[in-house]
Amino acid sequence: MNASRQGRRRLVVIGGDAAGMSAASQARRLRSAEELEIIAFERGRFTSYSACGIPYWVSGTVPEGKALVARSPEEHRAREIDVRLRTEVVELDPAGGRVRSRDHASGTETWTGYDDLVIATGARPERPPLPGMDAPGVYGVQTLDDGQALLDGLHHAPGRRAVVVGAGYIGLEMAEALLKRGYEVTVVNRSDAPMSTLDPDMGRLVHKAMTGMGIRVRNDEEVTGIRTGDDGRARAVVTEDAEYPADIVVLGIGVRPETSLAREAGLPLGEHGGLRTDLAMRVRGHDNVWAGGDCVEVLDLVGGRERHIALGTHANKQGQVIGTNVGGGYATFPGVVGTAVSKICDLEIARTGLREKDARAVGRQYVTATIESTNRAGYYPEAGRMTVKMLAERRTGRLLGTQIVGREGSAKRVDIAAVALTAGLTVEQMTALDLGYAPPFSPVWDPILVAARKAVRAVQERTG
């Protein structure tokens, strides 16, 4: 119960994936086991794995699930991090500086004191309370166990019809995976175009490409339930308008912060349900409680407001920041600009910054520019199309956001805009950017430059 003994401090980590174990590892790098005891509770069976890799495991692109594990519990233990698997923290007591955990195997409950606590409980997939949502044949893809369950399900599926609910990153990646597995894929989407993290005009390009890949996309349809057969298994996805027969149903309808423990403990949550932290990733108002990863809200540096974005790259950075601070160093996570990239088959999709509706929501007036270009010099073989949309602030011309849909080389080009957003560049400044040019990699005017030039004209045309 007493955290410190003989001057040694104790760090307790809740959650053994990206944020939690990055924090633990970084703290260990800075503090020896003599100085700092580290205990990590993980309710599952794995540590430090790439949930983002699950679609590629399901597709067969990555042959084995264990390949997604960046660092196993044994590897962490070898570095004197006391990883306790299948052990779920069921209560936080910030006032008492302790957590209560339950060992899944024995059912035993234990209180463990801490000097510093890291909450890295992640996110849980949305699973709307509709009939049939928990039926056999309906799968989420959040954890490695989910991935294994889905792969097992594919082996036993009675037929080859798959319905994916949701047309965001996970939905699209799962649609590709199922296509590769030989399924006939229908994607049911509640928005008016796939990829609602893009503006609808860009989402429609994704829709068109998906149709070309042989995927059936149904927009503007809200799922009302899953119809099950006499054996209780999922048979069809039902919407207000139609019913889509399904041998397999995959849910890709987003995630929400897993913060029920934090809520019960009275820790501060934001409007998206994520923990609120300061720039050092300390939970606001709690000196020795830290949080990172999918369970926190992050500051959107362009929109000037908090958002919830579940992404391994943020989780790793935040864990690193926490570990540095717990270890006695100094680091901050200043926020995000909202960059995300994905692909479906050979179509790459990227976004950063504000969409039109985000700009309106935060009170920024804007102009837009959309251009068509290619990923290589036009004469170079396999030059493929690339569409770039840019938003710039009215009058100031400051870049507000960029969306890209196109062939190879489209996705990571968004990084140019991500850095420009971070630095607060105007689209006029962007027209002079010294970007890499060679025929295999870009037209002589990089598509980002072409878009920036058009955005400058749009800013100029809308005077006043």
Kindly tell me the number of DSSP H helices and DSSP E strands found in the chain.
12, 25
Residue 150 and residue 141 in contact, taking contact as beta carbons nearer than 8 Å? yes
Minimum CB distance to a second copy smaller for 170 or for 283: 170
- DSSP, collapsed to helix, strand or coil, labels residue 412 as helix
Name the site residues for a second copy (rule: CB under 8 A): 18, 50, 52-53, 56, 61-62, 67-68, 70, 169, 311-314, 316-317, 332-334, 336-343, 350, 352, 377-381, 409, 411-416, 418-420, 422-425, 429, 431-442, 444-446, 449
In angstroms, what is the minimal distance from the CB of 237 to a second copy?
A: 26
Minimum CB distance to a second copy smaller for 111 or for 437: 437
Q: What is the DSSP letter of 351?
A: E
Structure tokens at 279: 């720039």
Minimum CB distance to a second copy smaller for 223 or for 416: 416
In angstroms, what is the minimal distance from the CB of 10 to a second copy?
A: 27
Sign of CA dihedral 198, 204, 207, 212: negative
Max CA distance (Å), the chain: 71
Q: How many residues does the chain have?
A: 464
In angstroms, what is the minimal distance from the CB of 9 to a second copy?
A: 24
Task: Name the strand (E) or helix (H) holding 209.
Answer: helix 200-212
Of residues 35, 44, 52, 85, which has the active-site annotation?
Answer: 52
In angstroms, what is the minimal distance from the CB of 326 to a second copy?
A: 17
Minimum CB distance to a second copy smaller for 1 or for 330: 330
Minimum CB distance to a second copy smaller for 169 or for 366: 169
Read off the amino acid at residue 61.
T
Using CA atoms, how far apart are residues 458 and 400, in angstroms rounded to an integer?
14
Residue 337 and residue 352 in contact, taking contact as beta carbons nearer than 8 Å? yes
Using CA atoms, how far apart are residues 217 and 190, in angstroms rounded to an integer?
11
Using CA atoms, how far apart are residues 81 and 77, in angstroms rounded to an integer?
5
Using CA atoms, how far apart are residues 40 and 47, in angstroms rounded to an integer?
10
Dihedrals phi, psi of 346, to nearest 5 degrees: -100, 20
In angstroms, what is the minimal distance from the CB of 239 to a second copy?
A: 29
State yes or no: is 345 an active-site residue. Answer: no
Using CA atoms, how far apart are residues 309 and 38, in angstroms rounded to an integer?
27
In angstroms, what is the minimal distance from the CB of 146 to a second copy?
A: 17
Residue 5 exposed, middle or buried by CB count within 10 Å (0-12, 13-18, 19+): exposed
Minimum CB distance to a second copy smaller for 64 or for 287: 64
Catalytic residues: 52
